[in-house]
Chains A and B, each alone.
Chain A
Amino acid sequence: MFHFRGLIQAIGVSLVFIIFYNFIIGVFNLLPVEWVVLSTFFVSYGSVGILAPLWNKQAPYTAAFFAAVVLSVINLMFSMIVLRIPVLFEPNTVNENLLSSTVFSLITAFLFIQINKRMGREHDD
């Protein structure tokens, strides 16, 4: 059964991670801009791919997929409303964004579940 609360928990924790990571990188000026964008992509969707199966034991892949979709939609809405970039005028970019984010989070979810099975962990929160 799909737990809605676990999905929201995973999204919230990954939002906290993104905020924290970007705040540290932006304050100390650690990386050039391209690497900031790329590493933020990896941190956000990787953390979603790990955390959504953790709180959704019975439907892990569905949870990872929906969490990635919701996060990328939040990104699009933010860039449309706050930054005023007309994102939806270019459907190809939106398509690439959705595809890459879901594929990356599904791959991390797959790897995480396989590693968890190998290590034989059952109960952890």
Chain B
Amino acid sequence: MIKTSFEIYNRYLIKIMMISVIIVIPLTLFLYFATIYLYDFMEADQYPNLYMLFFIIINFICLIPMYRKLAESDLEDEEDPTIWELIKEFLKHFGMVLFISVPLFLIGLIGMSLAFIPTAICGAIMLVFPFAVHYLDIKKMLTATGSILKRENIFILLDLAIVVSAQILIYSLIMQAFANFENSYYVYGITRALVNATVFPLLIFYLTQRYTVELNEQRTEAR
């Protein structure tokens, strides 16, 4: 799977670079500056850390439908999507992703007192549902999410750990290069944007192969 995702990454390198210049880097910079702004003017009883966590999660989740379409059109030998189509895919599914992930995040926050069990379940659902968000019917979307959850049950948390740890590892490795300089907010923000632009496509291609394509194969075998 990792080899295939590297192949897809290699094949669509120019498209991925264009998309990251148009969408991924401005989105990451905006969210990073938004967190700095919130830290500046919020008081301690408003918990700006939670807003920061939500921004980081949204930064990954928003980009999933776009890259999923790119990967799936390659894996199923369909026509290559143009850059405008991918941007349209991002804009279309942004509202749905936001609408589902905000209540899940709130449930996860409130459920932290119950030994983190609702938080883990909500994290798993938040990782999985953007891969099914392209179904036009909401009910069908939820059933697809549920079937992925049933099939993969506890290994989704492993995927979550892979996503988080890969980001932290690469970010810390890159920050070693800047460790001796006088750093400002802008350096951290631009570094994080570049890391996101390079790492997110690989992770999303890998997760797409894990979740959606196997599901389609199972369906065709069942018929």
Contact = CB atoms under 8 A, between A and B. Distances in A.
Interface string B87-122: 000011111111100000000000000000000000
A8 B30 contact: no
B30 A15 contact: no
A75 to B, nearest CB: 15
B186 to A, nearest CB: 12
Interface string A1-43: 0001100111111011001000100000000000000000000
A14 to B, nearest CB: 9
Looking at chain A's contact residues, the main secondary structure is helix
A15 B93 CA distance: 12
A12 B95 contact: yes
Looking at chain B's contact residues, the main secondary structure is helix
Contacts, number: 39
A105 B159 CA distance: 43
Contact of A15 (B98, B137, B138): B98
B169 interface: no
Given A5-B136, A5-B138, A12 B30 contact: no
Nearest to B51: A82
A12 B98 contact: yes
Given A19-B30, A23-B30, A5 B91 contact: no
A43 B92 CA distance: 18
Contact of A9 (B26, B30, B38, B95): B95
B30 A11 contact: no
Ranked nearest first, the 3 interchain pairs of A and B with the lowest CB-CB distance are: A12-B95, A12-B94, A8-B95
Interface of A: 4-5, 8-13, 15-16, 19, 23, 82, 84
Given A12-B92, A12-B99, 17 more contacts: A4-B138, A5-B137, A8-B95, A9-B95, A9-B96, A12-B93, A12-B97, A12-B98, A13-B94, A13-B95, A15-B95, A15-B98, A16-B94, A23-B26, A23-B30, A82-B42, A84-B46
